Amino acid sequence: MDDERRQDDWAASRKNRLPTFSEVLARRTRPPVDLFMFYLFLQREGAEDILDFWLDVQQHENLCRAYFKDVRKSGRTIRDDWPEYWDYARRRGSIYGTVVGLNPQTGTKRSTASTGEMLTEQDRANLASAGSMDEKAARSPSPRQMSTTPGTAVATEPPRSTTPFSLSGRTPTLFNRRASRAPTIIPRTSAISRQDLIASAERIYYRYLSPAGNTIGSNENHEIYLPPNLRIHSFPLSSQQEPKNAAEMSLMAQIPDMFHAQKEYVFRAMEQDAFPRFLRAKAFGNLTPVSALVRLVLGLIILWVGLAVGFSLIFLDVHPKSKRFFLFIPFTIAILFLISHQYELDPILVFFMQSESTPFRTLRIREPYVKKLLLGRAIWVTILVAACVTALTLLFWAVPGHRL
């Protein structure tokens, strides 16, 4: 009941506007502009990995917050429990400043520099040597566990995509969709440890940021696009063992904030590119591309049938002439399908408060302002269909018959 009340309050605040992208990600919106519909929209474009990455990083950050809260509840301070992270957060800033007890004036602002830029040259050299020495002992030899050093990444990486929504090796299809990977879930069966944080970051890196994470023999590519200054070329830590040296301890201190800059970039990319197209598709229409295409094909076929019958009635000079009025039946269906394809909106579905989630599967429209927009457009489409059908029917009725 409390969730329903909160949803009602949030919906009431949007009676005269469309939701923002932040509200969609926070699950404060209702169909057809909720997070589920946005995920399906990205899936049709073959770009759902971008949203999966954002959700996984969000969960990684929630896991880090839970760890810091557990530490504070135990009576310890972050400064005593994890001095490396405390020093790092005090110097660089952290998104967990208020959680770990830093000064709100100096500790809550997060630097947007990439993780690669945070390491000194000595740290990079130490990590590179440590990674090469411990690679066989610390990690399995599977393709998902193989990585390259920053110095050789450019030479050995496969070609990358050039925009967040143009993924290399990925082409959206109408019917053959890959099974999407669910966001990372770490059950709270015991207290969260730092190794859990490393494991969470490791999964995110090998799933979304490492070209070596692609499965051999598969055309699927889960790597997301990032600009060069935000790319992470290696992950020297292992979730199977504790950090051994000072360089690894220094890198582990960056784990909580490791993907925040990348997450912010992905958020802006989705907000400026995919989200406006999603609103145009779902707030101003209620059909999926496949359903609209089927309506186009059926509309053209039925229109051809209607025109063929109409010309037959004219050139056979069939009497009584009033029989030609029955042409409004195929004309109505054909024009309705064609205009529905053009507007990507089916007025009949709108009048029943339905919107397609996947081809020919619908769910109820519950977002208040979207209801108003779709009803207004549905009325306009209905008037347009009626005008076209009336004009065509009267035209074929008025033409004098002439038997050939």
Q: Which two tokens stand for residue 234?
A: 């290696």
Separation CA 94–CA 261 (nearest Å): 11
Determine the pLDDT at residue 135.
40
Spell out the alpha helix ranges (H) of 93-218: 97-100, 115-118, 121-138, 153-156, 194-204
Q: Which residue has the higher pLDDT, 36 or 126?
A: 36
Give me the torsion for CA of 136, 141, 146, 149, rounded to 10°.
20
Per the prediction, the chain carries an average pLDDT of 80
Query: Residue holding tokens 């290696």?
Result: 234
pLDDT at 46 over 80: yes
Give the model's pLDDT for residue 145: 35
- Quick one: what percent of the chain has pLDDT higher than 90? 51
CB atoms within 10 A of CB 319: 9
Summarize pLDDT for 327-374 with one digit per residue, the tens: 999 999 999 999 999 999 999 999 999 999 999 999 999 999 999 999
Sort 184 into a burial class: Cβ within 10 Å, 0-12 / 13-18 / 19+. Answer: middle
**Digit-coded pLDDT (tens) for 166-217:** 544 454 544 444 444 544 455 566 778 889 999 999 999 999 998 765 544 4
Q: Which of 58-72, 111-125, 291-305 has the lowest mean pLDDT?
A: 111-125
Amino acid identity for residue 154 in this structure? V
Backbone angles phi, psi at 320, to 5 degrees: -75, 155
Per residue in 308-335, pLDDT (tens digit) is 999 999 999 888 988 999 999 999 999 9
At 379, the pLDDT band (50, 70, 90 cuts) reads very high
Task: List CB contacts of 281: < 8 A, sequence separation 6 or more.
Answer: 41, 344
Res 155 pLDDT > 60:
no
Residue 376 scores a pLDDT above 50? yes
